[in-house]
Structure 1
Amino acid sequence: MDKTFVIFKPDCMAKGLVGQVLARFESAGFSIAAAKMIQLTPEKLREHYAHVADKPFFPEIAEFMGSRPVIVAVLKGEGVVAKVRDLLGPTDSTKAPAGTIRGDLGENMMINVCHASDSDENAQIETDRFFDPAEVLG
Structure 2
Amino acid sequence: DLMNLPSRSFNRSRLQTNLLSKKAVMIGTILAFFSLFSYAMAANKERTFIMVKPDGVQRGLVGKIIERFEQKGFKLVAMKFTWASKDLLEKHYADLSARPFFPGLVNYMSSGPVVPMVWEGLNVVKTGRQMLGATNPADSLPGTIRGDFCIQVGRNIIHGSDAVESANKEIALWFNEKELVSWQPAAESWVYE
TM-score scaled by structure 1?
0.97
> How far is 1:134 from its partner?
0.9
**CA distance, structure 2, for counterparts of residue 136 and residue 66 of structure 1:** 24
> Deviations for 1:1-53, whole angstroms, at most 9, x for unmatched residues?
11100111111101000001110111111111000011111111111111111
**CA distance, structure 2, for counterparts of residue 86 and residue 56 of structure 1:** 27
Which residue pairs with 2:88 in the alignment? 44
Q: How many residues align?
A: 138
> Deviations for 1:87-108, whole angstroms, at most 9, x for unmatched residues?
1110101110111110000222
Gaps of 5+ in 2: 1-44, 183-193
Which residue pairs with 1:58 in the alignment? 102
**CA distance, structure 2, for counterparts of residue 70 and residue 129 of structure 1:** 14
Decide which structure has greater strand share. 1
**CA distance, structure 1, for counterparts of residue 157 and residue 96 of structure 2:** 19
Residue of 134, 150, 155 corresponding to 1:111: 155
**Where do residues 1-138 of structure 1 align in structure 2 (5 Å cutoff)?**
1-138=45-182
Q: Which amino acid aligns with 1:76?
A: E
Decide which structure has greater helix share. 2
Instruction: Give structure 1 regions of 4+ aligned residues with deviation exceeding 2 angstroms.
Output: none
Greater RCO (CA < 8 Å, at least 6 residues apart): 1
- Which structure is larger by alpha-carbon Rg, 1 or 2? 2
Secondary structure of 1:67's aligned partner: coil
% identical equivalent positions: 37
**CA distance, structure 2, for counterparts of residue 20 and residue 71 of structure 1:** 13
> How far is 1:54 from its partner?
2.3
Q: Which amino acid aligns with 1:107?
A: I
**CA distance, structure 2, for counterparts of residue 75 and residue 66 of structure 1:** 23
> How far is 1:110 from its partner?
2.5
Gaps of 5+ in 1: none
TM-score scaled by structure 2?
0.70
